[in-house]
Amino acid sequence: MTTHYITIHRVTPDNRALLTRVDDDVFDNPVQPELLNDFLANPSNLLVVAVAGDAVVGMATGIAYVHPDKPIQLFVNEVGVSPRYQRQGIGKDLVAELLGHGKRLGCVEAWVATEVSNTAARALYTRLGSEEDDEQAVVCLLYTSDAADEEDS
């Protein structure tokens, strides 16, 4: 899938080198090779990237998962596009590729959560045909771990 000079790729262990050069503000933090390897080792984890030239300028992640009482579903976890590439349809292309791959895996439903105040994300998901739930979700941080705390234990 291509938008102008942007190409969209599903990242696999074979093409992980795509993430060697990533624009600022695409991911929350720098990509760490060992974490990338762990992520890609789990076939339920999905990552698609947008590439301009030799740099990743956008990404979307998701996870295909099964509940004991429901068929496989896709959770869209995160979407990020470099500020200089925003508002060009790249986020839409990334999520569309993620959704398409989820369907190929057999996902019967896909869902995402975002903040009520995140109008850009809500507009993106609306352009993809989503329907917002009438209930407002409450997000709670159950725990956080700090490497320094673990070293002190």
Over residues 95-110, the pLDDT tens digits come to: 999 999 999 999 999 9
Rounded to two decimals, the pTM is 0.84
Q: Is the pLDDT of residue 58 over 90?
A: yes
Ordered alpha helix ranges (H), the chain: 33-41, 90-104, 119-127, 147-152
Q: Is the pLDDT of residue 8 over 90?
A: yes
Q: Is the pLDDT of residue 43 over 50?
A: yes
CA atoms within 13 A on the CB side of 11: 26
